[in-house]
């Protein structure tokens, strides 16, 4: 396992907005990190900087997953970003355990990234006024098992809980697009630039 894990505001916000948009379904996506050599690696921290919502209809390993991962890699390679993990929210509110699909996709990502993370959203802690991040972050241990990281080693960017709470209260989750939406309507951008812009605006307002 790597050192600490740092989640930027867009990562937390997009994962939780995706889960909130489809409370009746399981949802999945990937998280992006700065590629090795593009940041200060001396402290061995994994910096997760963005999240890409994938599916809410069929999460299983399918050709569409391969297409989505390929498009994401090509889209963000020039920005020095790589796929660094997988997130999933299960269908049932009290179920936060990774299933076969989550484990297999996370293992596939780990084949290309030794620091890969598996993030499960804890649905029962997802609310409109977040006090803690409702996520469980795991990484592969030296024994090849996915092991939950201690909360003290997972850092959420300052202000992320407040910003995400504001987005949920404003029902911004209905504006989130995942890859399933894109397949239905190609004008739906799975990079969610409108959410990125809103995050920047809210963050700036909170600093004033």
Q: What is the enclosing helix (H) or strand (E) of 52?
A: strand 46-55
- Average pLDDT for residues 82-103, to the nearest whole number? 96
Query: Which residues are paired to 124 by β-bridges?
Result: none
Residue 39 vs residue 151, higher pLDDT: 151
Q: Is the pTM of this model over 0.85?
A: yes
Q: Which of 32-46, 58-72, 100-114, 167-181 has the lowest mean pLDDT?
A: 32-46
Element (H, E) at 30: strand 27-34
User: What tens digit of pLDDT does each residue of 123-139 get?
Assistant: 999 999 999 999 999 99
Domains of the chain (ranges plus CATH)?
A: 5-207 (3.40.140.10)
Does residue 167 carry a pLDDT above 80? yes
Contact residues for 183 (Cβ-Cβ < 8 A; gap 6+) = 64
pLDDT of residue 195: 96
Mean pLDDT of 108-114: 93
List the 5-7 sheet strands across, edge first.
Answer: 146-148, 135-140, 117-121, 81-89, 27-34, 46-55, 5-7, 154-156
Cα separation, 94 vs 5, whole angstroms: 25
């Amino acid at each position: 396992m790597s050192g600490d894990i740092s989640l930027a505001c867009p990562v937390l916000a997009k994962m939780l907005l995706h889960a909130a948009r489809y409370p009746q379904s399981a949802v999945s996506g990937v998280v992006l990190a700065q590629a090795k050599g593009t940041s200060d690696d001396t402290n061995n921290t994994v910096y997760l900087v963005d999240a890409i919502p994938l599916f809410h209809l069929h999460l299983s390993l399918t050709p569409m997953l391969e297409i989505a991962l390929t498009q994401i890699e090509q889209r963000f390679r020039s920005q020095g970003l790589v796929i660094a993990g997988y997130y999933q929210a299960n269908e049932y509110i009290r179920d936060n355990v990774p299933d076969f699909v989550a484990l297999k996709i996370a293992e596939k990502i780990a084949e290309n990234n030794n620091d890969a993370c598996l993030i499960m959203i804890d649905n029962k802690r997802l609310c409109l006024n977040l006090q803690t991040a409702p996520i469980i972050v795991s990484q592969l241990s030296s024994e090849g098992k996915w092991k939950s990281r201690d909360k003290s080693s997972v850092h959420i960017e300052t202000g992320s809980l407040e910003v995400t709470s504001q987005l949920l209260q404003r029902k911004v989750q209905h504006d989130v697009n995942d890859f399933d939406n894109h397949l239905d309507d190609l004008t739906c951008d799975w990079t969610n630039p409108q959410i990125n812009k809103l995050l920047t605006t809210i963050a700036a307002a909170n600093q004033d």
